[in-house]
Amino acid sequence: MPTLYGSDFAEVYSKYGYNQFSARVAELLPRVLRALHLTPDRVLDVPCGEGTFALEMARKGYLTTGVDRSSAMLGVARRKAREAHSKIRFVERDMRALRFHDEFDLVTSWYDSLNYLLRLEDLNKTFAGVFRSLRPGGSFLFDMNTLETLSKGWQRHPSFLEVDTRDAFALHRSTWDARRNLATLKVTCFVRRGQHWARTDELHRERAYSLPQIRAALRKAGFTDVASWGSIRRMTPPRRGDRKYWFAARRPSR
């Protein structure tokens, strides 16, 4: 993977609304857990980004760990946790190389993070690492962008300003590779530094996986009781045109 979420973009991400999705999911999660009859104590969020979801889980009383490969995003997450007097363990690691064993009741992965895995081999590695990280009987909840979103939704406005303030702005430009089911988002950020502006450019790539591919990868890792929805709020079955797929899968009990 290329270097993503450097210090300037991590700052923009945290301050200017990119983290609203994670906050909304954290708000919805207790109802989802009740519907699935899940009562976790230890939660792993991977990748955790700048910590919005992990911090909300800790506030709700869960023993929370966050993993991310971006040192800049983890720096923001740790600062937010200190300011909130929240005891969250943060670990800098690639999600393809998790090293936990039988430790968590629940693992989460939000905001289409798994679409960043551009090879099926990497998706398999990540699912296997999540499986090992869970205690027997533990569950894995996650979302992924659909082919509809990456091939059409992102391309509907191929160039737009995501952030436009006095101190920062971010321009998004997207393209679609139909042969490889690959969307590329070029993010150009400018952040005010005193009398000057600092520019940073990042390339974010996401691959569209089909429902059968995702389900097969979960089964290959050992997961059972795989459920999927087109809406986590209504928990309705997936259908053509959905923007996201939402999943729940379980590591079997011993």
Q: Give the distance, in angstroms, between the CA of residue 20 and the centroid of all CA atoms in the same chain.
A: 12
Amino acid (one-letter) located at 54: A
Instruction: Output DSSP code: residue 217.
Output: H
What is residue 215's predicted lDDT score, i.e. its pLDDT?
Answer: 97
Q: Which residues contact 25 (CB under 8 A, 6 or more apart)?
A: 53, 110, 111, 143, 232
Contact 89, 62 (CB under 8 A): no
What is residue 98's predicted lDDT score, i.e. its pLDDT?
Answer: 98
Q: Which residues contact 156 (CB under 8 A, 6 or more apart)?
A: none
Using CA atoms in the order 27, 52, 70, 245, what is the torsion angle rounded to 10 degrees? 10
The architecture that CATH gives domain 149-206 is Single Sheet (2.20)
Fold agreement between 7-145+209-250 and 149-206 = no
Long-range contacts, 110-114 (Cβ 8 Å, 24+): 110/21, 110/22, 110/25, 110/45, 110/53, 110/142, 110/143, 111/21, 111/22, 111/25, 111/49, 111/143, 112/143, 112/144, 112/145, 112/206, 112/244, 113/46, 113/47, 113/142, 114/142, 114/144
What is residue 254's predicted lDDT score, i.e. its pLDDT?
Answer: 78
* Per-position DSSP letters for 131-193, written without gaps between them: HHHEEEEEEEEEEEE-HHIIIIIHHHSSEEEEEE-SSEEEEEEEEEETTTTEEEEEEEEEEEE
Report the candidate in 85, 111, 107, 93 with the shortest Cα–Cα distance to residue 17: 111
Amino acid (one-letter) located at 90: F
| Gap between the Cα atoms of 105 and 39, Å rounded | 8
The rounded average pLDDT for each run of 10 residues, N- to C-terminus, in the chain (254 residues) is 76 90 95 97 98 97 97 96 96 97 97 98 98 98 97 92 93 96 96 93 96 97 97 93 96 92
Strands 244-250 and 134-145: antiparallel
Spell out the domain ranges in the chain: 7-145+209-250, 149-206
Paired strand residues for 161: 171
What is residue 1's predicted lDDT score, i.e. its pLDDT?
Answer: 46
Tokens matching residue 200: 């940073």
What is residue 3's predicted lDDT score, i.e. its pLDDT?
Answer: 62
| Half-sphere exposure (Cβ direction) of 68: Cα atoms closer than 13 Å | 28
E-assigned strands of the chain? 42-45, 63-68, 89-92, 104-109, 134-145, 159-164, 168-177, 182-193, 196-207, 224-229, 244-250
The architecture that CATH gives domain 7-145+209-250 is 3-Layer(aba) Sandwich (3.40)
